[in-house]
A and B are shown apart, each in its own frame.
Chain A
Amino acid sequence: MRRLMRQLLAGPYLVWIAGFIILPVGVILYYAFTTADGAFTFAHIAAIADPVHVKSILLSLKLGLSCTVVCLLLAYPLAMILSSFRFRHQSFVVFLFILPMWMNFMLRILSWRLILANSGIINALLVRLGFGPVKLLNTPATVVFGMVYDFLPFMILPIYNSMTRIKDDIIEAARDLGAGNLTILAKIIFPLTVSGIISGIIMVFVPALTSFVISDLLGGGKVLLIGNVIEQEFMQGTNWNLGSGLSVVLMIFVIASMAVMNIFDKDGGGAAVW
């Protein structure tokens, strides 16, 4: 009886789920599988095979994967260093990575534009050193750079969290049994941080794959990701059905990438951000 009463507290949320989580998914599926006059069609899903769309989804996958790999390579050693420092208050570390996130990311990307522009700080320095201005903006590499900048904390925090959870005596036991530093890293630390790595990869890869703002601001409209294509269908074109179809395809890519990652995550737990 009392248990039932407690369950009822989830009532408002249940309504919210139905209205604003399940229903919108239904609506977007409806748009994706119908023509403008409401007839069933598979064309908007199939439209992904259009060479323009293939090109942009491949580019999205390429940039998203690059961003994820770079983030992982930067974050893993960083998390190891941070956890070896044994800060008295772990929350301080989290604080340092969260702080930039509280300043609008649009402003931080804007700042990178200032720094990397042809007339920006870095090029001003290069010119003075006699290297002439180098084109740093509006390339795919710039877009990856911006994504790494924006998403790096999402890779660092889960890995750092899983690393601080490894107890000292586990490491000492391995050393006691004859393991050197490399063996400890490969046989103990790495396996015990896999769930953190998986969380990090998901939290970086999904937004990187689906991003459209960073490519817009740092790619100068020349880097067309699948997110940009979808955005244009809604904001500039008028073909909402096609846009929905591509969104559904994007959703499938996201679900597929998470399914792949789940295979590796034997613990099934996954580490929370904080």
Chain B
Amino acid sequence: MSKKLISFIDITKSYGDNIVLDELNLYVRENEFITLLGPSGCGKTTTLRILGGFETPDHGRVIFDGKDITCLPPNERNLNTVFQKYALFPHMSIAENIAFGLKIKKKSRDYIEDKIRYALKLVNLEGFGDRSVDSLSGGQQQRIAIARAIVNEPKVLLLDEPLGALDLKLRQDMQYELIRLKNELGITFVYVTHDQEEALTMSDTIVVMNQGYIQQIGTPEMIYNEPVNAFVADFIGDSNILDGIMVQDRVVSVLGVKLPCVDEGFGSNRPVDVVIRPEDVEIVAPEDGFMEGDITSVIFKGVHYELDILVNGYEWLVHTTQLYAVGQHVGIRVIPFNIQIMNKPESEDEEAVEIDA
């Protein structure tokens, strides 16, 4: 395991009555691609801005490379930010934009020229140095913003929803581009996004946040396969989240049907959240299923069909590669390993907010 490069210790930040971060603790390892993921207002951008030096926390400390940088202004921190809306300087050429930080550090002319050439090559925009900012497309401006940051050789690159303003295809291309850059540069990336697909594709570690609290920290696989609560499950991909009762170890009751599962230690007759991914639901003949219901909608999604199946008043979301007809009566099954049991949130703070899928 590589060493901890950045630690957030008990960070609290509020604007007026609105507490944005509450006693946040988090560390970032060297050379890690870490993503802060969550809906609008979850505190992810504030966390990044505290690291960048644009906000000062009300309480708590930020340790960077062994030093307390909590009160250090942004221009004295050895990290650089790629801004959401590029924030290129409109009155400067592309080369001047890239050279900005180096000129402040009083680097030699030759060094700066070399760096500009290197950076433009790195982001696949060779020969764009003399162009003006507004002659570039959104994707190109984004690349220049990255080039402008990395020529300063920061130990950490902060990226604030850098792909948010790009269209879908470009966004996917840039995801691979960013992974390549990260590997070539060998530095730490701290990435902020609300797009779970982006987070799953690129990150070494994902930090899921909601309403100022960290919900879960883990690898993309962990976060997707073993969400710790209904919020994470709902935010990462589509899920069926049902109210259930843990009857005893390895038995959960959902919609009045007792199902075998693998979880233990929840006690007996406790209310729990039951999470089942739509691709884990199998469709079988009515008599073979745990429960049976009617298909109310079928939508073709390319790789699979998305079905709604109405069972005892609950509409299940199911992914399948086989075609069924609307109105067909079917049974559904889930293997015990694919049933996730979670504690219900205890306090209002932990309450999962409704989010748009």
Contacts and interface: CB of A to CB of B under 8 A. Distances in A.
15 contacts: A167-B85, A172-B54, A172-B74, A172-B81, A172-B83, A173-B83, A176-B52, A176-B149, A177-B104, A177-B148, A177-B152, A178-B104, A178-B105, A187-B100, A188-B89
B155 to A, nearest CB: 14
Nearest to A190: B91
Given A177-B104, A177-B152, A170 B89 contact: yes
B106 to A, nearest CB: 10
Contacts of B148: 173, 177
Given A178-B152, A180-B75, A173 B89 contact: yes
Interface string B61-88: 0000000000001111000110111011
B101 interface: yes
Contact of A191 (B54, B74, B91): B91
Contact of A177 (B73, B84, B85, B101): B101
A179 B105 CA distance: 9
For chain B, the bracket of interface size reads 20 to 34
A-side interface mostly: helix
A176 B80 contact: yes
A192 B80 contact: no
Contacts of B101: 177-178
A260 to B, nearest CB: 21
Contact of B80 (A167, A177, A187, A188): A177
Given A167-B87, A177-B104, 10 more contacts: A167-B85, A172-B74, A173-B81, A175-B73, A176-B52, A176-B75, A176-B149, A177-B149, A179-B100, A192-B91
Interface of A: 167, 169-170, 172-180, 183, 187-188, 191-192
B-side interface mostly: loop
Residue from B88, B104, B148, B152 whose CB has the most chain A CB atoms within 10 Å: B104
Contacts, number: 59
B265 interface: no
A174 B81 contact: no
A163 B105 CA distance: 27
A179 to B, nearest CB: 6
A173 B75 contact: no
Contacts of A179: 75, 100, 104
Contacts of A172: 52, 54, 74, 81, 83, 87
A167 B105 CA distance: 24
Residue from A169, A178, A187, A191 whose CB has the most chain B CB atoms within 10 Å: A178
A177 B149 CA distance: 7
A266 to B, nearest CB: 8
B90 A192 contact: yes
A178 B75 contact: yes
A-B pairs with lowest CB-CB distance, top 9 = A177-B101, A169-B87, A173-B87, A175-B74, A178-B104, A191-B91, A176-B81, A178-B75, A169-B83
B85 A183 contact: no
Contacts of B91: 191-192
Contacts of B90: 170, 192
Nearest to A266: B91
A177 B87 CA distance: 12
A188 B90 CA distance: 9
Contacts of A174: 89, 100
A43 to B, nearest CB: 48
Interface in B126-175: 148-149, 152
Contacts of B76: 178
Given A167-B87, A169-B87, A170-B87, A176 B74 contact: yes
B333 to A, nearest CB: 52
Contacts of A173: 81, 83, 87-89, 148
Contacts of B80: 176-177
A102 to B, nearest CB: 35
A190 to B, nearest CB: 10
A179 B89 CA distance: 13
Contacts of A192: 90-91
Nearest to A188: B89
Contacts of B54: 172, 175
A88 to B, nearest CB: 14
Contacts of A183: 104
A169 B105 contact: no
A174 B90 CA distance: 12
Contacts of B149: 176-177
